[in-house]
Structure 1
Amino acid sequence: MFRFLNRTHTLQAHGGWNDAALEKLWLYNLHYFDDLNAQDAHARRDLHQALIARWIAENPPTSGNGWESYPTSLRMVNWIKWLAAGNVAPPSMVNSVVLQAQWLAGRLERHLLGNHLFANAKALVFAGLYFEGTQAAVWLATGLKIISKELPEQVLADGGNFERSPMYHAIFVEDVLDLINAAQCWPGLVPNEQVSYWHETARRMLYWLTGMTHPDGEIAQFNDAAFGVVPRVTELMAYAARVGVGLPTAIENSKVIHFADSGYVRMQTFDAVAFLDVAPIGPDYLPGHAHADTLSFELSVFGQRVVVNGGTSCYGLGADRLRERGTAAHSTVEVADANSSEVWGGFRVARRAYPFELKVLPSSGHVACSHNGYTHLPGAPVHRRQWQMNKDSLQVQDTVRGGKHASLSRYILHPAIQVAAIYANTWHLTLAGGQRLLVVVQAGQGRIEQARYAPEFGKQLQTQSLVVELVSGEADVTFSWVK
């Protein structure tokens, strides 16, 4: 039995590695072999040896999901880590790794770029370090050349990953730490200046990740993002310390941090923290993990999530994937039942929103931004949102100017929140810890609706959403709290 993405299945004796009845992402995870290097993996050494031998026997070269370039890359790294840790290789394992490296070297995902090409390059570096000889030297040189080009492009100056997904950012942090670790395990093979750059990049990335992490220790959920896929920031910090990466400075209270290159803002008081999306959805040539979530935000108060985005429960081409990428699944404004960016096809985006007129005033706790994602509609409407964070409140003001369209501002609430109406346009929100927030709609017409929240792959939870109909193009909502 194998459990990935909160789904448990049995690996069938015939064709199980490529079972068409199972979703492709689940099958990809089956081929990754992440458990070889998981916690307490040594206790499952015999199982791992048998599973590796079975994979080799049942996955003939170049056939099936496991030989696609991305799962091949992740599996190669996991197998080489396992071998380098001193485990005894089953028959044909070493030869299989060589064959996988040869196959991958001729099928680098240059057409996809992004995290796929980087994963390919990382695998070639591992193979080039682990093996010796002319062919290994070519693998190493090829991998290092790709990484030297892609790392400065994919990691922005503020430390954020250019795909604007905190989940993929964390994956990327682990990738860079793995490269540093490998360079230390096989010293003298990677140029010192390249390793130094990896160290500096890892520090910037860890600072960004810390800044985009809620008090509960999990990431903010913008674009494709789910819990349970990557290590938590505390685990990555510990890994960084083990490989000698200098840790970034701590995130301070009572401060506005603007990640200007990636396009996110963290607003924090002693009791609350908000994360604001004033970013482009991602690089124009690589929007595959983007959601129509422009000007959405998330809020934690007293260490507990209050306002969330809808999350990510699945990939693929189904209705749930399309819904979860849509504007209505995020804590932002929807105009005329349209998506702010035209998400389609599982991993594609056509027309997309671009933020403009951004104003960040750290001293007063004020942020404002507009976007043009709805200007294709009659009257060319523009959504502008303003956040004002004070010691014990967060005010969110929305305006939509241009045309005459129905507009809704949604605030998706965490499932642990209990909602109680006090009177018109006013509610109490009770947190799991017993603390209360007061929510007042000062402009617009508010109501509570059912909603869905997907914190992890394979998991959808029922929750509630405060939905505010803009009146005369305006809405004004204040969340306030007292200890």
Structure 2
Amino acid sequence: MQLLTKFQRLYHTVRPLRFEQIAYRVLYKLFPLRHVSSDSTSFSSADWIWYGPEVVEPSFLGGNQVCFLNLSGQVQSAQDWNSPAFEKLWLYNLHYFDDLNARGSQQRTATQLALVERWIEENPAVSGNGWEPYPLSLRLVNWVKWYNRSKLNKPEIIRSIDLQAKALSKQLEYHILGNHLFANGKALVFSGCFLKGIAADKYLDSGLKILDREIPEQFLKDGGHFELSPMYHCILLWDLLELLHLAQLSGNTKLNTRVESWSDFARKGLIWLKTMLHPDGEVSFFNDSAIGIAATPQQIFVYAQSLGLFVSESVPRPLHTLSESGYSKITMPDHSLIFDHAQVGPDYLPGHAHADSLSFEWSLGLQRVFVNSGTSIYGVGAERLRQRQTAAHNTVVVNGVDSSEVWSGFRVARRAKATLESSSVSSEVVTLTASHDGYCRLSDKVVHRRSVSMMPKKLQVKDILIGRFHSAVAHFHLHPDITAVQKDDTNIMLTLPKGQVVQFKSAFGCRIIKTTWHPRFGQSVPSLKIEVQFKANELATSVTLVKV
């Protein structure tokens, strides 16, 4: 890449950042945390006991055996906590200690205690992945929830919790913001409610100050989390429910004054989640999303009800638009569609964005048919980039470039701006029309406009490219369970596992190509996609239900 092009990309990446992000990044670079120590030799904790739901799968398998992101490993020596043989995300999961509150945790107390004590001994402050603020935050919450429930009397663990909270408070992630800073605030609140003393009060006040700022910032008016990832929405909504649960269990007056406000945000978040689900009960794959990282939607709804939060069972039909988030759901008796006319995310925080503008996901009954990429990997490799690119989603690539300039692992330079232009509902058809300007950075400034129309037995998609272009390709990714047979140049028959048949028809020649789908981290499943080459500025495609 030419030097000027690299400079332009960097400029467009950095320009939307907030001043505090740049300032804190410089501060932490120049003055990294090198030392932290306890202020006292005597520590005590509150006596409330956490009894929240255990929903994640066990990851401590006995002895030194562990498993994260569908990849097993061993922690046999102090060096294994930061082993270069594993990706950083895997090592982060090792330091989270999610197993302490995973299913059947009480049957693994001996294994858990041994690893906790080893972590304290083998991870001196402030060295290694475990002392970075994000794993610090998740581990603190896990240790706090686990300690009293396990009926322990281990002052060294309480001392370590204090030390970790102190280290976290000195490196809050204002250089990243978003879900990371939220996790920091939650961890300090849990630590402040668990520990006793002046330091505990400081942790609590610091955490609440963060949450008072970030909850209204991060949860939009329609209930969606502002990073616009259904997976991260589940994570943050669960965090919010746990904060409400903590207020109940601890009886802390500072938390109780916030319960009404937190509950309002949670209710809206639950409604948003219902809208973004497929009929199979799982989340849609827009931006960084996968199954198995967050609690399942059903687990979230059950947890919310146990806390006294009840929301309507159904989403408004046939059309429900989440205006602030930029998603719409169309529901017919036999099929449903979720349409993405959203921005890439907050201007200053597009790290979990994909170049998926105007993509959609479509289900027939309980079966997903058209699916976006999903997410199986983080990091900065070629596969991570491929899964974020436009061609991995059900939308249009123009001149071989992405609708938004995704690069590296979590970077976006120039971003598409999407607009919902119109919507209409009649007794027989629901139509949405939206556009984005992501290709206006091309020399001929192309605008992509897409209309989706849903009828009881049919889906029609009309793509219009306004401007001149050299090439354009529409991508339609199929769920791995779908069988595709090409009948002629413009017709493909799709068969679902339960025998349903739909006809895919395009105005121009189409072809079936092998690809992969990524429903979980560490998982790539062979699948198919349909590609249609534009022969003019307009492309019409349709999917007709032949046999339901």
Asked if the contact 1:258/1:360 (under 8 Å) is kept, the reply is no
* Paired position in structure 2 for 1:378: 443
**In the alignment, which of 289, 296, 307 is matched to residue 359 of structure 2?**
296
- Counterpart code for 1:243: L
Query: Deviation of residue 168 (structure 1)?
Result: 0.5
Moved more, 64-73 or 124-133: 124-133
Distance 2:510 2:254 in 1: 59
SS in structure 1 at match of 2:440: coil
Report whether the alignment pairs 1:24 with 2:81.
Answer: no
Query: Deviation of residue 312 (structure 1)?
Result: 0.8
Asked if the contact 1:330/1:411 (under 8 Å) is kept, the reply is yes
Asked if the contact 1:168/1:225 (under 8 Å) is kept, the reply is yes
Query: Deviation of residue 12 (structure 1)?
Result: 3.2
**In the alignment, which of 427, 430, 437 is matched to residue 495 of structure 2?**
430
* Paired position in structure 2 for 1:332: 395
Moved more, 394-403 or 79-88: 79-88
Deviations 1:193-244 (A, max 9, x none): 4111111111111111111011112100000011110111110011111122
Structure 1: tracts of 5 or more residues without a match: none
Asked if the contact 2:482/2:496 (under 8 Å) is kept, the reply is yes
* Paired position in structure 2 for 1:306: 369
Q: 1:412 to 1:65 in 2, by over 3 A?
A: same
- Counterpart code for 2:340: D
Query: Deviation of residue 250 (structure 1)?
Result: 2.2
Distance 1:120 1:362 in 2: 44
Matches within 5 A, 1:87-126: 87-90=151-154, 92-126=156-190
Deviations 1:346-401 (A, max 9, x none): 11100010012521224441100010000111211111110000111111111112
Report whether the alignment pairs 1:343 with 2:427.
Answer: no
TM-score in terms of structure 2 length: 0.86
Deviations 1:40-85 (A, max 9, x none): 1111111111111111111111110000000000000000000232
Matches within 5 A, 1:178-189: 178-189=242-253
Structure 2: tracts of 5 or more residues without a match: 1-64
Distance 1:345 1:53 in 2: 37
Asked if the contact 2:495/2:502 (under 8 Å) is kept, the reply is yes
Q: 1:83 to 1:210 in 2, by over 3 A?
A: same
Report whether the alignment pairs 1:228 with 2:292.
Answer: yes
Deviations 1:408-428 (A, max 9, x none): 000000010001122331121
SS in structure 2 at match of 1:456: coil
Report whether the alignment pairs 1:251 with 2:317.
Answer: no
Matches within 5 A, 1:147-226: 147-226=211-290
Deviations 1:229-286 (A, max 9, x none): 01111100111111222x2212247411100000000111111111111000000000
**In the alignment, which of 432, 451, 456 is matched to residue 367 of structure 1?**
432
Asked if the contact 2:109/2:150 (under 8 Å) is kept, the reply is no
- Counterpart code for 1:450: K
* Paired position in structure 2 for 1:68: 132
* Paired position in structure 2 for 1:390: 455
SS in structure 1 at match of 2:254: coil
Query: Deviation of residue 89 (structure 1)?
Result: 4.8
Moved more, 398-407 or 162-171: 398-407
* Paired position in structure 2 for 1:84: 148
Distance 1:209 1:244 in 2: 17
Moved more, 362-371 or 52-61: 362-371
Moved more, 323-332 or 85-94: 85-94
Query: Deviation of residue 192 (structure 1)?
Result: 3.5
Asked if the contact 2:321/2:327 (under 8 Å) is kept, the reply is yes
- Counterpart code for 1:131: L
Query: Deviation of residue 435 (structure 1)?
Result: 1.2
- Counterpart code for 1:211: T
Moved more, 25-34 or 11-20: 11-20
SS in structure 1 at match of 2:220: coil
Q: 1:301 to 1:141 in 2, by over 3 A?
A: same
Q: 1:89 to 1:456 in 2, by over 3 A?
A: farther
* Paired position in structure 1 for 2:530: 466
**In the alignment, which of 190, 201, 225 is matched to residue 137 of structure 1?**
201
Query: Deviation of residue 92 (structure 1)?
Result: 1.3
- Counterpart code for 1:292: A
**In the alignment, which of 301, 307, 314 is matched to residue 237 of structure 1?**
301
Identity over the aligned pairs, expressed in percent? 44
SS in structure 2 at match of 1:258: strand
* Paired position in structure 1 for 2:520: 456
Distance 1:89 1:120 in 2: 26
* Paired position in structure 2 for 1:405: 470
- Counterpart code for 1:9: G
Asked if the contact 2:394/2:476 (under 8 Å) is kept, the reply is yes
Distance 1:90 1:135 in 2: 19
Query: Deviation of residue 88 (structure 1)?
Result: 1.5
Report whether the alignment pairs 1:278 with 2:341.
Answer: yes
Distance 1:362 1:202 in 2: 29
Q: 1:73 to 1:191 in 2, by over 3 A?
A: closer
Distance 2:239 2:182 in 1: 9
Distance 1:457 1:55 in 2: 25
Aligned length: 481
* Paired position in structure 1 for 2:326: 263
- Counterpart code for 1:118: F
Distance 1:271 1:434 in 2: 14
* Paired position in structure 2 for 1:15: 79
- Counterpart code for 1:382: V
Moved more, 88-97 or 277-286: 88-97
